[in-house]
Amino acid sequence: MAAIGIFDSGYGGLTVFKSIRAFMPSYDYIYLGDNARAPYGNRSFDVVYEYTLECVHWFFEQGCPLVILACNTASAKALRTIQQQYLPTLEGNKRVLGVIRPTAEVIGSYTKTGHIGILGTKGTVSSQSYLMEIEKFFPKVQLFQMACPLLVPLIENKEYNSVAANYFVKKYIDELFQQSDKIDTILLACTHYPLLIEKIKKAAPHDVQVIAQGDIVAHSLQDYLQRHPEIETQISQYGNLDFYTTDDAHDFNEHATIFFGESITAKQLHL
């Protein structure tokens, strides 16, 4: 089996996987959530790189020709080094893609005011990856970033419906709009945040659109596979889904459903 590998620090990548699967149900997929070491958002470049590389290496051992980092933090902090330093050392045609570039390619077309707010982890925001990538495609758009360091820990700890989640969403949105009251588009630049999308919409002015990345990334992947038959023809198409977590599988199964939209059975992986 040569499945497409989908990786996240925890549950968040399932929000992207859900869209990818809906767009392309015939392929085989393996999902890995590194829940035991999540969140990645506050960790250093070196540590995020080390953890991500270890997981990417595992996907390749499973025979995956293509791995999607369905995690903005890993895409911001590890992807480039993996592409430039690790992949060239491997035999065969292997690819690792992230979620920042496909989002940057289209996000500027959503705004009318030219002011976009970006919510992400501390790591994603401080890497400036979105500013650099969006600038290439939409140089006139003004970007306002807001690091939301407490949202992933709240979500990973299943506190997304809590009063604390309401409080922190409102605090981060208020601080974002203090930077510009012309923002008409908010990008959820963390794959965990779609779980809080209703709270985020409620905390923002009512005419502001809130964009999750799932469909954007899925559409871009579909396009990529059409343009790269040398990768596409390596991927098996039996519609199989396999789920792994580095933490307790029972716990993962219980909560993954909320992110993925259907019940799943994961296995625990000891890296």
Instruction: Please confirm, yes or no, whether 64 is among the known catalytic residues.
Output: no
CA distance 256 to 260: 6
Question: Closest approach of Cβ 150 to ligand DGL, in Å?
Answer: 10
CA distance 64 to 30: 8
Instruction: Please confirm, yes or no, whether 190 is among the known catalytic residues.
Output: yes
Q: Which of 18, 77, 192, 255 binds ligand DGL (CB under 6 A)?
A: 192
Is residue 19 within the footprint of ligand DGL (CB under 6 A)?
A: no
Is residue 190 within the footprint of ligand DGL (CB under 6 A)?
A: yes
Q: Among residues 55, 64, 71, 148, which one is catalytic?
A: 71
**Residue with nearest beta carbon to ligand DGL:** 41
* H or E stretch at 246: none
Q: Which of 124, 127, 220, 245 binds ligand DGL (CB under 6 A)?
A: 124
Is residue 12 within the footprint of ligand DGL (CB under 6 A)?
A: yes
Burial 67-89 (b: 16+ CB within 10 A, else e): bbbbbbbbbbbbbeebeeebeee
Question: Closest approach of Cβ 93 to ligand DGL, in Å?
Answer: 27
Is residue 129 within the footprint of ligand DGL (CB under 6 A)?
A: no
Q: How many residues bind ligand DGL (CB under 6 A)?
A: 17
* H or E stretch at 77: helix 72-77
- Residue 215 tokens, joined: 């469909």
DSSP line for 82-141: IIIIIGGGSSS--EEE-SHHHHHHHHGGG-SSSEEEEEE-HHHHHHTHHHHHHHHH-TT-
CA distance 75 to 79: 5
**Which residue is it, tokens 């519609």?**
239
Which 44-73 positions form the footprint of ligand DGL (CB under 6 A)?
71-73
Is residue 152 within the footprint of ligand DGL (CB under 6 A)?
A: yes
Q: Considering only 6-14, 78-86, 131-139, 199-207, which stretch makes contact with ligand DGL by CB under 6 A?
A: 6-14
Any bridge partners for residue 119, and if so which?
146, 188
Is residue 35 within the footprint of ligand DGL (CB under 6 A)?
A: no
Residues forming the site for ligand DGL (CB under 6 A): 8-10, 12, 38-41, 71-73, 121, 124, 152, 190-192
Catalytic residue annotation: 71, 190
